[in-house]
Amino acid sequence: MKTSETLIATLREAPAEAVIASHSLMLRAGLIRKLGNGLFSYLPLGLRAFRKVERIIREEMDGIGALEIKPTVVVPGELWRESGRWDTMGESMLRIKNRVGQELVVSPTAEEVAAALIRGELATYKQLPITIYQINTKYRDEIRPRYGVMRGREFVMKDAYSFHTDDPSLDEMYQKMGRAYRNIFRRVGLSIIPVRADSGAMGGSGSEEFMVESEVGDNTLILCPACGYAANDEKAACAPDDLPGAATEKSLEKIDTPAVRTIPELTAFLKTTPRVFIKTLVYRAENCGSKLGDEKPAVQGTGAVGKTRFFAVCIRGDLDVNEAKLAAALAAGEVSLASDAEVERVTGAPVGFAGPVGLKSVPVLADSSVMALHDAVTGALEKDRHYLHVEPGRDFTPAQVCDLRLVKAGDKCPHCGAGFYTKKGNELGHIFKLGRKYTDALRVTYLDETGKAQTPTMGCYGIGLDRTLASIIEEHHDGAGIVWPMAVAPYHAVIVPIKYEGAMRDAADRLCDELETAGVEVLLDDRPERPGVKFNDMDLIGIPIRLVVSDKNLPSIELKMRGQGEVTLVAMENTAAKVAALVSQRGVSSGHD
């Protein structure tokens, strides 16, 4: 391919909005162009690299027996109503109506579609297990799309869905997917960090995220330097703190605390530490599936979408509530702190004086840290009053005790006791054990060996292609531009004649033919530009092998690897074989771990 036959659209400067390397370089190298906020088009060079990532993913999916399908991007809203996510997905899901008033969704994910498709085809246990996948366009109406294709509104995902007769079969495919994901990211040249993760709106019993380290990452990774434990902070657990003290024999005592509301104010007022306080927060939960409080009247209200319920959440005074863990514990679509007015309605006291002792209007959830406290302090459900000498289990009994703690750097690993450290990361892939959440909701059944109808269990496995491509550039670039790994480079090699004329033209054309015959993807820069312009453009674009044809060196060719300073002269007759060998050596095979 000659440059005169394709589109080279390099820029000297990137737009000011491009604040991370991948966004800037994808624009400057002419890989993408912005059409609107969060909407990007791929130009020819960018699409070539994108298709290579896509091909590697497809090879790994096919390699574990997944079957590719091609659903529509616009799907009936009734499927989302069946699953219950029409209400819980919120404004990130783009809803539209057609001319006859039918509700439609521009797919943000495809669990409902996969379950509906299998529902129509599944008859007997003999058809299971089965895994289907698509590589298709998605749309999520991000409030603040940013960082180019790293967080756009429209994007491409590979999402796979597996269906099984039992959990051991699901676990087998889950493990296969995990290995396939590791192969994919190895082959595209990415250093990934697999972490335990929260299942979030997807639901299910277990999940694992595949992260890349990033200064602008949306996720905080909790990492153990000793045993390798790794988790998203939404999911991370830690060892309990070793707190001194024993149960107090002192009776509960109510004291005056005028205008003392916050933990720092209480700490100063009582001349103690935050670790002795039971902090009580009131949360509202939308579309809550928890049965807590169903046996008695609870303070409830009606939110803008679905049913709203309120819960009191207790945690030690020096800790913070992990809202992802709370949402999971309540099986809620969303949780958020109640307003001041709601807190007063629920507790009968202003903000700052809530506590679990005597609180009957809403269910009380306690973090495990609370139950380890002795002789504690908490709000007395009255303005300007607090309780001293509180003993959890004696003075109050939570409706549920669970891990609600937001883990941070310095907390102890639950496996080995070493102190955690943190990194920022971006999620590239996520695998879930969904269980029967969607197959139950969409009434997917099969007949077992006895002829009895059963519901299959389900897995879900996603990779963002655009984000993966951007992450490759984040990891592989220098001051001159992109440094593509061979497996995903738009072209393996570029031929740059100092001038595309005379003997240099003849040699460049001949070399191009020989490289193409040898299976090398090659670009011939036949533009009438200065050599420096050509060199800079090809360094910016990041093509791995540069072959310079000059009168000075003919009949030898100057060979230089992108990102390396060394230049080698290779005899013209040996160049194609040399380059083909380099491509083979530096390409990443499909061999499995």
CB 130 within 8 A of CB 121: no
- Interacting residues of 83 by C-beta distance below 8 A, sequence separation 6+: 111, 112, 115, 438, 441, 442
Distance CA(550)–CA(105), nearest Å, equals 57
Q: What is the DSSP letter of 375?
A: S
- Interacting residues of 523 by C-beta distance below 8 A, sequence separation 6+: 1, 2, 3, 6, 490, 491, 493, 494, 495, 543
Helix H or strand E encompassing 231: strand 230-232
Distance CA(496)–CA(546), nearest Å, equals 7
| Confidence at residue 203, expressed as pLDDT on a 0 to 100 scale | 45
Helix H or strand E encompassing 35: strand 32-36
Q: What percent of the chain has pLDDT over 90?
A: 84
Q: Tokens representing 126?
A: 């003999």
CB 326 within 8 A of CB 365: yes
Of the pLDDT bands very low, low, confident and very high (cuts 50, 70, 90), residue 332 is: confident
Nearest Cα residue to 407 out of 421, 393, 394, 395:
421
Whether residue 522 has pLDDT greater than 60: yes
Distance CA(407)–CA(506), nearest Å, equals 65
377 residue type, one letter: V
Strands 364-367 and 307-316: parallel
DSSP H stretches of helix in 261-399: 263-270, 323-330, 340-347, 368-371
DSSP H stretches of helix in 69-134: 77-83, 85-88, 111-121
CB 160 within 8 A of CB 176: no
**Per mean pLDDT, which range of 40-54, 88-102, 463-477 is the poorest?**
88-102
Nearest Cα residue to 377 out of 365, 385, 368, 386:
386
User: In 3-state terms, what secondary structure has residue 331?
Assistant: coil
Distance CA(486)–CA(480), nearest Å, equals 18
Whether residue 529 has pLDDT greater than 90: yes
Nearest Cα residue to 131 out of 458, 518, 472:
458
Distance CA(479)–CA(21), nearest Å, equals 10
Nearest Cα residue to 159 out of 566, 489, 449, 431:
431
Of the pLDDT bands very low, low, confident and very high (cuts 50, 70, 90), residue 291 is: confident
Q: Phi/psi of residue 79, each to 5°?
A: -65, -40
| Confidence at residue 328, expressed as pLDDT on a 0 to 100 scale | 87
Whether residue 199 has pLDDT greater than 80: no
Of the pLDDT bands very low, low, confident and very high (cuts 50, 70, 90), residue 198 is: low
Q: What percent of the chain has pLDDT over 70?
A: 95
Q: What is the DSSP letter of 351?
A: T
What is the set of domains in the chain, with CATH numbers? 67-236+422-463 (3.30.930.10), 253-402 (3.90.960.10), 491-586 (3.40.50.800)
Tell me the angle at which helices 502-517 and 572-586 cross, rounded to the nearest 10 degrees: 40
Question: What is the number of other CB atoms lying within 10 angstroms of the CB of residue 331?
Answer: 13
| Confidence at residue 297, expressed as pLDDT on a 0 to 100 scale | 44
| Confidence at residue 586, expressed as pLDDT on a 0 to 100 scale | 86
Distance CA(280)–CA(324), nearest Å, equals 17
Distance CA(138)–CA(418), nearest Å, equals 41
Q: Tokens representing 502?
A: 């005379």
Helix H or strand E encompassing 181: helix 167-187
User: Between vectors from CA 40 to CA 210 and to CA 220, what angle results, nearest 5°?
Assistant: 30
Q: Tokens representing 492?
A: 């393996």
CB 216 within 8 A of CB 424: yes
Helix H or strand E encompassing 67: strand 67-68
Distance CA(379)–CA(401), nearest Å, equals 19
Question: What is the number of other CB atoms lying within 10 angstroms of the CB of residue 188?
Answer: 24
| Confidence at residue 295, expressed as pLDDT on a 0 to 100 scale | 54
What is the arithmetic mean of pLDDT over 305-329? 89
Q: Render pLDDT for 103-157 as a digit per residue (tens, 0 to 9).
A: 999 999 999 999 999 999 999 999 999 999 999 999 999 888 999 999 999 999 9
Give 209's strand partners.
195, 430
Q: Render pLDDT for 446-478 as a digit per residue (tens, 0 to 9).
A: 999 999 999 999 999 999 999 999 999 999 999
What is the arithmetic mean of pLDDT over 517-538? 96
| Confidence at residue 294, expressed as pLDDT on a 0 to 100 scale | 64
CB 33 within 8 A of CB 43: yes
| Confidence at residue 448, expressed as pLDDT on a 0 to 100 scale | 97
Mind spelling out the 3-state secondary structure of 422-475?
A: EEEEEEEEEEEEEECHHHHHCCCCEECCCCCEECCEEEEEEEEHHHHHHHHHHH
Residue for token pair 């994919």:
184
Nearest Cα residue to 317 out of 360, 265, 244, 361:
265
What is the arithmetic mean of pLDDT over 523-552? 96
Tell me the angle at which helices 44-63 and 167-187 cross, rounded to the nearest 10 degrees: 140
What is the arithmetic mean of pLDDT over 64-89? 94
Distance CA(285)–CA(155), nearest Å, equals 30
Dihedral sign for Cα 331, 333, 337, 339, please. Answer: negative
Whether residue 298 has pLDDT greater than 50: no
What is the arithmetic mean of pLDDT over 38-54? 98
Q: Render pLDDT for 207-256 as a digit per residue (tens, 0 to 9).
A: 889 999 888 888 899 999 999 899 989 889 999 998 877 899 999 999 99
Q: Tokens representing 31?
A: 């890989």
| Confidence at residue 88, expressed as pLDDT on a 0 to 100 scale | 79
| Confidence at residue 572, expressed as pLDDT on a 0 to 100 scale | 95
| Confidence at residue 590, expressed as pLDDT on a 0 to 100 scale | 55
Whether the bond between 528 and the residue before it is cis, its omega within 30 degrees of 0, is no
Distance CA(405)–CA(233), nearest Å, equals 10
Nearest Cα residue to 24 out of 473, 469, 466, 424:
473
What is the arithmetic mean of pLDDT over 371-382? 96
Distance CA(588)–CA(586), nearest Å, equals 6
Whether residue 523 has pLDDT greater than 70: yes
219 residue type, one letter: N
Plot region of 259 (φ>0 → left; ψ -120 to 50 → alpha; else → beta): left
